[in-house]
Structure 1
Amino acid sequence: MASLTNKSYRFAFILITSLFFLWGFAHNLDPILIPHLKRSFTLTTLQASLVDSAVFVAYFVMALPAGAIMRNYGYKSGIITGLLLFALGSFLFIPAANTQQYIFFLGALFIIACGLTILETAANPYASLLGDPETATQRLNFSQSFNGFAAFMAPIVGANLILTRGATDEQLSHMTEAVRKATLASEASTVKMPYMILAIILLLIAAAFYFTKLPEIKDDNQEASSKSLFHAFKHKHLSWGVAAQFFYVGAQVCVFSFFILFASKTIPAGTPKDLLVTIMEKIFVFFHVVSESSATTYYSYYLSAAGLMFMVGRFVGTFIMKYLKPNTLLAIYAAINVLLCIVAMNSHGTTPVYCVIAIAFFMSIMFPTIFSLGIHNLGGDTEYGSSLIVMSIVGGAILPPVFGYITDKTDNIQYGYIVPLVCFAVVMLFGLIGYKTTQKEVANTPDPIL
């Protein structure tokens, strides 16, 4: 296996890592879209959660076709295809906003997510294989750290470009139905410019990939690729990995997508800026991301702080894995998050919001670590195993509506945190026992646990 000291491998790794930022930015605009579309179309929390469903159903639908693209045409073709679909979905936000139909927004998000599925199916194993196999988990966590950087940037950028309100709720209540609809329609149209800019950037990056020669990477294991999807499930640790990823992604989407709604419900109205909000505001003003804070960006500062913790957690976790086995760290972080969920459900004021920010830190390493441990020692089943773990991201479509249903029925968004609590418990079990490969597999392949 070639080393990243090789210049061609190093440049390829940089280019691939940029993709992690791109899809992270797209995903972390969804928490901005949810409250925005909820208001514009007067949706319930359950209906607003369909934003996540539209995105993550695509992962289930496209994971196997994405794997087929990689097997038949290679990583480079897969990446370019993913970028083009990503750009197409972004451009479709323009007619969606013009027609003012919620279903069209969901359709555009579905197409974006189809592109993201192909990108993730290609980039995760590519980053994992692009170097020393013994540091695959660390390398994947490093690349995923830029996904965390996007989680830090997207909320504030999105809030300032999208969450523009032309009227307060009180003013809307005094409008005629026709005027009210026109006002909300105008607000909904603010999505057009940021998504058009994103689409143009994606086309430029697709062109860069097209004209760049990427090294063809092969797994050192020379076993022939499996011809059966079901054969891959014979690996017990893969089955555990699929389940763990399903619940982890469900938890992550619940945490981030409902964050602004959660903060707005738990922090009392009129609460003055605390130190965290003041610091985040100064950071973004300093870098000219925003000029001044506004009511629409107040809660976004907390969300951006969660994204910052998510990013920092990835870098910290990558460092800790030099001294602690990835599965052990995964189990410890998941156990901490179970406790934080309990506190978030039973506390008041800003405390539950700070608990959720802490949850973001401790869930930071979970996706890449579960992915790497899940596909370890699969031999000829690696490609199908990778696709299956990507398919399990459908948890992000199924579990947030459960969160929304509990919130609507109890009229308390904090109770919805029973869903992430259960999810983190499953991840903890994977880190404790589910990650283990069979003795036969261990005998044939070196252990990647660091």
Structure 2
Amino acid sequence: MPTPVINASLEGQTESFEAASYKSAISLLSSLFFTWGFITVINNTLLPHLRSVFSLSYTETTLIESVWFIAYFVASIPSAKLIERVGYKGSIVIGLCIMALGSLVMIPAARMPSYGVTLLALFTIASGITLLQVAANPYVALVGTPETASARLNLVQAFNSLGTTLAPLFGGYLILGRSSSGTAQAGHVLTQAERLADAQAVQLPYLIVAGVLVVLAIVIARFPLPAIGAGNTRMAKLERSKHSLWRYRNLVFGVPAIFIYLIAEIGVANLFINFVSQPEIGNLNHEQASHYLFLLWGGMMVGRFIGSFLMRRMPVEAVLAGASLGAGMVMLAAATTTGPVAMWALISVGLFHSIMFPTIFTLGIRGLGALTEEGSGLLIMSIAGGALVIVQGWLADSFGLQSSFLLTVACDVYVLFYALWGSRPVGRKG
């Protein structure tokens, strides 16, 4: 009976080849997650820089980040339509090219300099990242075996955290470290010549970013990524039509949980440098403050490893509740104390915020069955909540920068509510 042996041998070789192909694909996509995490967090060093260059209020400063996250809302549905037309690989390549285009637009925006063109450039970059998010996250989940989907997502998200951790050092050196606003002490008023020179300091960093994005797009375009078919989606369409997303409390409360959490995370990151630079807090210049921002994002990375360890031994909801309590307490300290206590309280919130997005996301889609794809889409779209960071900018202008962090405390309270009650997968019947 030689044929079964030959067939078994061929099947084994095919499985081995597919496994190697999947591993190569995940390795390449890890660099993709690293890149968009890196570029997203460059904004945290760019914002205080632009605030000085254009003499912006805190409201106008946070509007820059709001424009960034509005792109998630505007570009999500068109991104999904594009994926249907050109597939995951083509969409990833297009997303990288859109990001490169936006990075190049930053160069004339700096030469003018123009606040409006800067907003347009950042919106373009964010639209490209949105396309990557919509394409790459489900691709990583689908490529390979379903049993290891969670492990693959955690792996690439770890590289995303590595990118967010290293970005402040890059931005601090090439943007803040090469500008008058970045190296001056708090309260220094820039001359018109210094503003013009500072505006042009962003040209080299974004030229480097554009070059890296183009190279990565070429590599992915030429790389034989395993194809993902659409058959499963078509087969489940009839089944999904029989159910309603609104029956699932964990999703209904999970969408605003991510929306609200993003306000907290982005608000802390965007106003961090301005906050710790204040004489009564850290008395640092912006370049020095960017090094502490590195610790905030590093804490996010460490917190994910700790959270992963704890979730193997404790209920996920309990870990999320503990994290939200810890975040609320340290943010209350940051909003009401001064000096090193306030500064290190703000730095430490990264440890507690680290697990919130992936944990809320996991709890939100729990038990959805055939509706998982639609539920995931709603949760990803709710990342647009980061756009409401402008509310914290308005609070900072109206009531003081430090008091504005009470908004973060309120956001953490909602996450606590979600952990204790809203995340229970109980749906309405009918």
Question: TM-score per shorter chain, which class?
Answer: 0.7 to 0.9
Q: 2: CA distance between counterparts of 1:46 and 1:3?
A: 55
Report deviation, 1:430. 2.3
Of the two, which has the highest radius of gyration? 2
Report deviation, 1:325. 3.6
Q: 2: CA distance between counterparts of 1:240 and 1:255?
A: 23
Report deviation, 1:100. 0.8
Deviates more, 1:215-224 or 1:331-340: 215-224
Label 1:144 to 1:170 Cα distance change in 2 as closer, same or farther (>3 A).
Answer: closer
Q: Map Cα deviations across residues 244-265 of structure 1 (whole Å, 9 max, x no partner).
A: 1101111110111111011112
Counterpart check, 1:156 vs 2:169: yes
Deviates more, 1:296-305 or 1:195-204: 296-305
**SS state at 2:393 partner:** helix
**Letter of the 1:313 counterpart:** G
Equivalence for 1:349? 339
Report deviation, 1:269. 6.6
**Letter of the 2:382 counterpart:** S
Q: Map Cα deviations across residues 4-52 of structure 1 (whole Å, 9 max, x no partner).
A: 9922222222222222211111111111111100000011111111111
Label 1:59 to 1:233 Cα distance change in 2 as closer, same or farther (>3 A).
Answer: farther
Counterpart check, 1:392 vs 2:392: no
Q: 2: CA distance between counterparts of 1:70 and 1:22?
A: 20
Counterpart check, 1:96 vs 2:84: no
| Residue-pair matches, total | 409
Label 1:135 to 1:40 Cα distance change in 2 as closer, same or farther (>3 A).
Answer: same
Report deviation, 1:172. 7.1
Q: 2: CA distance between counterparts of 1:171 and 1:239?
A: 46
Runs of 4+ in structure 1 over 6 Å off: 2-5, 169-172, 218-221, 225-228
Report deviation, 1:364. 1.1
Contact 2:247 2:428 in 1 (8 A): no
Counterpart check, 1:50 vs 2:39: no
Contact 2:273 2:286 in 1 (8 A): no
Contact 2:282 2:339 in 1 (8 A): no
Counterpart check, 1:211 vs 2:225: no
Contact 1:28 1:151 in 2 (8 A): yes
Equivalence for 2:391? 402
Equivalence for 1:428? 416
Q: Map Cα deviations across residues 191-248 of structure 1 (whole Å, 9 max, x no partner).
A: 11111111111111111111112223469785227888x9544443222221111011
Q: Map Cα deviations across residues 178-202 of structure 1 (whole Å, 9 max, x no partner).
A: xx32320111111111111111111
Equivalence for 2:349? 359
Q: 1: CA distance between counterparts of 2:423 and 2:80?
A: 23
Q: Tell me which of 410, 414, 417 is aligned to 2:402.
A: 414
Label 1:170 to 1:31 Cα distance change in 2 as closer, same or farther (>3 A).
Answer: closer
Q: CA RMSD in A?
A: 2.9
Q: Tell me which of 26, 34, 40 is aligned to 1:27.
A: 40
**Letter of the 2:396 counterpart:** T
**SS state at 1:257 partner:** helix
Deviates more, 1:89-98 or 1:140-149: 140-149
Equivalence for 2:31? 18
Contact 2:186 2:279 in 1 (8 A): no
Q: 1: CA distance between counterparts of 2:240 and 2:279?
A: 51
Q: 2: CA distance between counterparts of 1:325 and 1:218?
A: 35
Q: Map Cα deviations across residues 57-76 of structure 1 (whole Å, 9 max, x no partner).
A: 00011111122223343221
Equivalence for 1:145? 158
Equivalence for 2:179? 165
Q: Map Cα deviations across residues 371-420 of structure 1 (whole Å, 9 max, x no partner).
A: 2332344344333323322221111111x211111111123x22111111
Q: Map Cα deviations across residues 142-161 of structure 1 (whole Å, 9 max, x no partner).
A: 32222221222111210111
Deviates more, 1:387-396 or 1:84-93: 387-396
Contact 2:186 2:278 in 1 (8 A): no
**SS state at 1:437 partner:** coil
Label 1:322 to 1:5 Cα distance change in 2 as closer, same or farther (>3 A).
Answer: farther
Contact 2:249 2:427 in 1 (8 A): no
Contact 1:49 1:404 in 2 (8 A): yes
**SS state at 1:49 partner:** helix
**SS state at 1:422 partner:** helix
Q: 1: CA distance between counterparts of 2:293 and 2:237?
A: 45
By percentage of residues, which structure has more helix?
2
Q: Map Cα deviations across residues 292-313 of structure 1 (whole Å, 9 max, x no partner).
A: xxx5421111111111111111
- After TM superposition, the score normalised by the length of structure 2 is 0.86
- After TM superposition, the score normalised by the length of structure 1 is 0.83
Aligned pairs for 1:161-240 (under 5 A) are: 161-163=174-176, 164-166=178-180, 168=184, 180-217=191-228, 223-224=236-237, 231-240=244-253
Q: 2: CA distance between counterparts of 1:49 and 1:313?
A: 26
Counterpart check, 1:105 vs 2:118: yes
Where structure 1 has 5 or more consecutive residues not aligned to the other structure, the ranges are: 272-294, 442-450
Contact 1:141 1:369 in 2 (8 A): no
Aligned pairs for 1:301-340 (under 5 A) are: 301-340=291-330
